[in-house]
Amino acid sequence: MKKRGQSRRTSSPASPEHGYQVPAGVARRPALRRVHHSRPPRIALFSHDTMGLGHARRNLTIARTLAGAGLRANVLLITGANAMGGLTMPRGIDCVTLPAIHKGINKQFRPRSLDLPLGELTSIRSKITRGALEAFDPDVFIVDNVPRGANGELDESLRFLHNRGGTTCILGLRDIIDSPENVAAEWAERSNEACIEQYYDAVWVYGDRTIFDPVKEYGFSDRIADRLQFTGYLERGLDATSAGCGSGVDGIELPLGELLLCMAGGGQDGAQLARAVCEATLPDGMSAVILTGPFMPPNIRGKLTAYAASRPNLQVLEYHPEPLRLLMHAERVISMGGYNSVSEILSLQKKALIVPRVVPRHEQLIRVERLAALGLVDMAHPDALTPAAISRWVGTPSQVGLQNIDRVNFSGLSHLQRLVRDVFEAHDLAAKP
Q: Which of 57-66, 132-141, 238-247, 413-422 has the highest mean pLDDT?
A: 132-141
| 405 half-sphere exposure, CB direction, 13 A CA radius | 19
Q: Which domain does 381 fall in, by range? A: 240-407
Mean pLDDT across the stretch 306-317? 92
C-alpha closest to that of 432 among 140, 28, 37, 72: 37
Single-letter amino acid code for the residue at 429: L
* CB-CB contact of 370 with 407 (8 Å): no
Q: How many helices (H) and strands (E) does the chain have?
A: 14, 17
Instruction: State whether 167 and 282 are in the same domain.
Output: no
Would you say residue 286 lies in a domain?
yes
Residue 334: strand pairing partners: 262, 353
Instruction: State whether 153 and 279 are in the same domain.
Output: no
411 three-state secondary structure: coil
Would you say residue 87 lies in a domain?
yes
DSSP 8-state secondary structure symbol assigned to residue 39: S
Tally of domains in the chain: 2
Would you say residue 2 lies in a domain?
no
Mean pLDDT across the stretch 300-323? 89
Instruction: State whether 224 and 89 are in the same domain.
Output: yes
Output the average pLDDT for the chain: 84
Neighbours of 156 (CB within 10 A): 17
Instruction: State whether 193 and 244 are in the same domain.
Output: no
Would you say residue 6 lies in a domain?
no
- pLDDT-based confidence at residue 51 (cuts at 50, 70, 90): low
Instruction: State whether 397 and 418 are in the same domain.
Output: no
Instruction: State whether 231 and 281 are in the same domain.
Output: no
**CA geometry: angle 202, 149, 185, nearest 5 deg:** 85
Over the stretch 142-163, which tens digit does the pLDDT of each residue have?
999 999 999 999 999 999 999 9
Q: What percent of the chain has pLDDT over 90?
A: 62
Instruction: State whether 184 and 261 are in the same domain.
Output: no
Instruction: State whether 210 and 253 are in the same domain.
Output: no
For the cut 50, the answer to whether the pLDDT of residue 17 exceeds it is no
Q: Using CA atoms, how far apart are residues 386 and 379, in angstroms rounded to an integer?
A: 13
**CA geometry: angle 63, 52, 50, nearest 5 deg:** 90
Instruction: State whether 392 and 425 are in the same domain.
Output: no
* CB-CB contact of 167 with 141 (8 Å): yes
Which domain CATH number covers 172?
3.40.50.2000
For the cut 90, the answer to whether the pLDDT of residue 216 exceeds it is yes
